[in-house]
Amino acid sequence: MSIKIGDKLPQASFMTLGADGPAPMSSDDLFAGKTVALFAVPGAFTPTCSAKHLPSFQANAAALKAKGVDIIACCSVNDVFVMGAWGEAENVGDDVLMLADGNGDFTKAIGLELDASGFGMGARSQRYSMLVKDGIVSELNVEAGGDYHVSSGDYLLEQL
C-alpha cells in the first residue's frame, strides 16, 4: 500500500556524499522537527529528471524556503556516488540535498516503487513530490506513468 497524506514516514537510512565521502542519514535526522520538500526521480542523469524535475526545485529553492521549507531533498534509487556526481553536475550546491536510496528500501517502504526493467533500469522510484512536516506527509503528488507535472517544484510551491 502506498503512503498517503497524514501518514508518518517509515524509519529509513539514506546515503549522502559529503566532503569526507559517503555518510548515512537516518529518516529521523532528515525529517524530525523539520519541514522537508522531498521529491523522487526514477533515475539520476535521465532526461526528464535532469532537464525538468531537479531544475524545478533548484529554481524554486528560495521561494520554498521563504514559505517555511527547511530542506529540499532529491531521492533516487541510485548509489551515493551517482547522486553525488549528479548533484555536482547540476550545481545544486546547498539548495538540494541529494539522497541515495541505493537498495530502494525507503521507496519500497512507502509503496512507490517502479519496475523500470523494460527500460533496462530495474527497480526504481516513481516520480513524486511530497511535503513532510516532522515526519508526517502533508502533501503528496505522485505522477501517472511517464508524466511530469504534479511532482514539480512549481506545483509543490503552489500548495504551500
Angstrom distance (rounded) from CA 96 to CA 87: 8
Of residues 8, 9, 2, the one with CA closest to residue 143: 2
Angstrom distance (rounded) from CA 91 to CA 62: 15
In angstroms and rounded to an integer, the radius of gyration of the C-alpha atoms of the chain is 14
74 is catalytic: no
Residue 58 host element (H or E): helix 54-59
CB 14 within 8 A of CB 115: no
Catalytic one of 36, 40, 41, 49: 49
Residue 74 host element (H or E): strand 71-76
Angstrom distance (rounded) from CA 40 to CA 116: 14
Q: Tell me which residues are annotated as active site.
A: 49
